[in-house]
Amino acid sequence: MSVSATAVAHPNIALIKYWGKRDEAMQLPATGSLSLTLGIAPTTTTVTLSDDPKVAADLGTLNGEEMRGKDLARVQKFLDLVRERAGSQAYAQVDSVNEIPTGAGLASSASGFAALTLAAAKAFGLDYSKAELSALARRGSGSASRSIFGGLVEWLPGHDDASSHAVELDNPGLELSLVVAVLSPGRKKIDSRAAMRQTVATSPFFSAWVEQVPRDIEEMKAAIAAADFTAVGSLAEANAMRMHATMLGALPPVRYWNSDSVAALDLVASLREEGTECYATMDAGPNVKVICRSGDAEAIACRFRSEFDGIDVLVSGSGPGAYLM
Ligand code: 2P0
């Protein structure tokens, strides 16, 4: 009988962003980061070890379609690492279902590699702590280290492979929600890994970013501890703008925004002027995510639906860490 394990993980959205690595091979980030794990749009992944000696490679499906090219190569490289740790020769079949548009700056690689980490660790018999699972997930995709945990999460930059993992933060009283305006569900033109590399190599603003982020993290942790929504939201928005400013300084510039993104940022500013306190954040894509108090989320989502014809608008509160089925 073949060994199989299934895991579920949710995307996360960074309030203080991860942008740039100090070690590409080990996936060590230039700075820490801090995120909220969402309660929507999970990835469910089943890893089945092959007991057929004719199978000589890992294979997979994503949303029912065969994985190929770069996506498959990334999964295979990750499973090579898991095999090495487990002292196994077995190849695996990976079947993954993503309930969010893949590659659209909605953190599908975070939920994807977090679910793959948990399912693969179980199937290959690695008895890992959550911190160890988080460090392993990081090797697949940096932001996946955060989706191992639920709620508010800090990814510690660490000094080596084992120490660069995420931890769950106490949340003494913030009821945060995110409204995700899916302005463009297509695959992004430049993937975040290549865009980060370009930013690190060419943006004259990158050193200022690396100096600023640790300050932003400390300030954010103090705001969370004080349950100060205004401080959390305004700092998250400022940090996202700083990240995009840093990548706009690259050569050639990395610009994920489109004209709808700018219109959405304007709408967030208008809502605030009208008395609904909310703040914007953006990742490696044109979509805008609105950080708000949970009680305001539905009204903000309604407003986005009426201002942007035909777009998907998702609402999410805080979600759980990755778990086995
Ligand atoms: C974040 N992003 O903190 C930032 C903000 C996108 C913008 O983490 O190369 O897919 O696999 O480590 O994790 C996207 O980066 O990159 C990301 P790799 P990943 O959420």
Q: Whose CA is nearest to atom 8 of ligand 1?
A: 143
Shortest-distance atom of ligand 1 to CA 142 = 12
Query: Is 44 exposed, middle or buried (CB count within 10 Å of its CB: 0-12, 13-18, 19+)?
Result: middle
DSSP state of 187: P
Q: What is the CATH number of domain 4-172?
A: 3.30.230.10
How far, in Å, is the centroid of ligand 1 from the Cα of 195? Answer: 10
pTM exceeds cut of 0.95: yes
How far, in Å, is the centroid of ligand 1 from the Cα of 154? Answer: 14
DSSP state of 104: S
- For helices 69-86 and 108-123, give the axis angle rounded to 10 degrees: 40
How far, in Å, is the centroid of ligand 1 from the Cα of 236? Answer: 16
Tokens 């487990």, residue located:
86
* pLDDT interval class at 101 (50, 70, 90): low
Domain spans of the chain, in order of start: 4-172, 177-316
Which pLDDT tens digit goes with each residue over 111-157?
999 999 999 999 999 999 999 999 999 999 999 999 999 999 999 99
Question: What is the predicted pLDDT for the residue at 184?
Answer: 82
Which pLDDT tens digit goes with each residue over 165-182?
999 999 999 999 999 999
Neighbours of 64 (CB within 10 A): 8
Shortest-distance atom of ligand 1 to CA 193 = 9
Q: Please report, in angstroms and rounded to a whole number, the separation of the first and last CA atoms in the chain.
A: 19
What sign does the CA torsion over 45, 177, 142, 240 have?
A: positive
Question: What is the predicted pLDDT for the residue at 72?
Answer: 97
| CATH class of this structure's domain 177-316 | alpha beta
Which helix (H) or strand (E) covers residue 214, if one does?
A: helix 206-225
Question: What is the predicted pLDDT for the residue at 127?
Answer: 97
- Give the chain's length: 325
Residue 65 · residue 6 · CB < 8 Å: no
What residues line ligand 1, using a CB cutoff of 6 Å?
Answer: 14, 17-19, 27, 33, 109, 141-143, 192-193, 283-284
Task: Measure Cα distances from 126 to 57, 172, 187, 219 in Å.
Answer: 20, 34, 33, 37
How far, in Å, is the centroid of ligand 1 from the Cα of 243? Answer: 12
Q: What percent of the chain has pLDDT over 70?
A: 97
Shortest-distance atom of ligand 1 to CA 105 = 6
The residues with which 35 forms a beta bridge, in sequence order, are 14, 153
Give the mean model confidence (pLDDT) for residues 233-245: 98
Q: Does position 15 have pLDDT exceeding 90, yes or no?
A: yes
How far, in Å, is the centroid of ligand 1 from the Cα of 309? Answer: 29
* CA nearest to 284, candidates 183, 166, 193: 193
Q: Among 141, 217, 246, which is best to mutate for testing ligand 1, by the most ligand atoms less than 8 A from CB? A: 141
